[in-house]
Amino acid sequence: MDDLMGDKPSITPVAVCSSTGKKRTLSESSCGSSSTDLDNEANRKKGRSTPASNLLAAFEDGMKKREENKERRFKEFMAFKAQRAEEANEYKKKALELLEKLVNSNNSV
């Protein structure tokens, strides 16, 4: 096999069997690049968007916009209601002033 691969093969084995009975942990192994490759692959999978995640994101955006529009309409309604209440108070004051003038003019006659 060494004759085929040469002295320094460019392929590293995925796993190495040992007859010593000791278990090697990942930090003890010399395959530091493979753990980095696994991390890179995990990051690529997280960054990859699927149609379901795109649909979910669009749905969440729509829900957020609906909530914002609902809040905006409520604030507009409350402002309109306050303005109408202020106008009603002004009309009541004018009506009261006219009524007082009418009462005063009838008392003086």
| Span 46-78, pLDDT tens digits | 556 788 889 999 999 999 999 999 999 999 999
**What is the distance, to the nearest Å, from the Cα of residue 89 to the centroid of all Cα atoms in its chain?**
44
For 31, counting Cβ atoms within 10 Å of its Cβ (0-12 exposed, 13-18 middle, 19+ buried), the class is middle
Average pLDDT over residues 29-52: 61
Spatial distance between the Cα atoms of 36 and 32, rounded to a whole number of angstroms: 7
Instruction: Considering only the C-alpha atoms of the chain, give the largest distance between any 2 of them, rounded to a whole number of Å.
Output: 133
State the pLDDT at residue 97. 95
